[in-house]
Amino acid sequence: MFTHKPVEIPELSTKNVNRKRFYLTPEGKLYPSITTVLQRRKMEGLMEWRKKVGDDVANYVARTAAHRGTKVHHMCEDFLNNNFDEETHKKNFLPYVLFGQIKPVLIEKVDNIYAQECGLYSDKYMVAGRVDCIGEYNGVPSIIDFKTSTKERNDDWNESYYIQASAYAEMFEERTGIEINQIVILVVTEDGIVQEFIKTKHDYLPLLVEVIDDFTTDWEKENEMVHSSSDDVTNKS
């Protein structure tokens, strides 16, 4: 049984603006999700990969990966909530097998859980998001994120993961006053390997500022183009 130390954090609602996800804070502020902010950083590599394999293969791989990742996330969440329904989850064979690989790590290293699947936001960084798990990992308060992969990941492929988790750490401290310095990314691969990546958030905060600034610049340009197009239509009519 896992110990929970829940903290009170207000619920956030989401809103899509120009096909980008934003979160509405209790104070009525609209902040982009950290996932949306980081999409620009990932887009170039994804486009090159899509051109290489073709749209049909790319779409299939993306759907399969999304399904696999979502199911494993749900299993980890239920297990850490002491609410795991074996019969229900084993119907999803591959995610269930992958969860079976990561389960011993959770038992051995995770406890004293503050929050799971929790919406967070930062007024300092003007960004928001939903974190997988916040709790102690090897006795150290940590942001814990679960990932699945078809193959083992090199550490330098994970930079966006580290930036994202560092953002969650900053958001959580703003909302609760509880400082989180350690970020943990657990990756389970389709051949049953569990990779553990442990980092310190302070190493990634400069990059967090950089990606937010880049997103804000692009977002402002995009809105200027939309307003300009609207004005042209109005003038012509």
Mean pLDDT within 36-40:
89
Residue 237 lies in a domain: no
Give me the mean pLDDT over the 224-228 stretch.
Answer: 57
Res. 141: pLDDT tops 50? yes
% residues pLDDT > 90 (the chain): 74
Ranges of beta strands (E only) in the chain are: 13-17, 20-24, 30-32, 110-122, 127-137, 140-149, 182-189, 194-200
Q: Is residue 53 situated within a structural domain?
A: yes
Could you read off the pLDDT of 145-198 as tens digits, one per residue? Answer: 999 998 899 999 999 999 999 999 999 999 999 999 999 999 999 888 999 999
Is 168 among the domain residues?
A: yes
Residue 20, in any domain of the structure? yes
We report the CATH number of the domain holding residue 146 as: 3.90.320
Enclosing domain of residue 144: 13-212
* 143 occurs within a structural domain: yes
Residue at 8 is within a domain: no
Query: What residues are paired with 120 via a beta bridge?
Result: 129
Please state the domain count of the chain.
1
In a domain, 103, yes or no: yes
Read off the pTM.
0.89
Q: Token pair for residue 47?
A: 């486009």
Indicate whether 231 belongs to any domain. Answer: no
Task: Check pLDDT > 90 for residue 64.
Answer: no
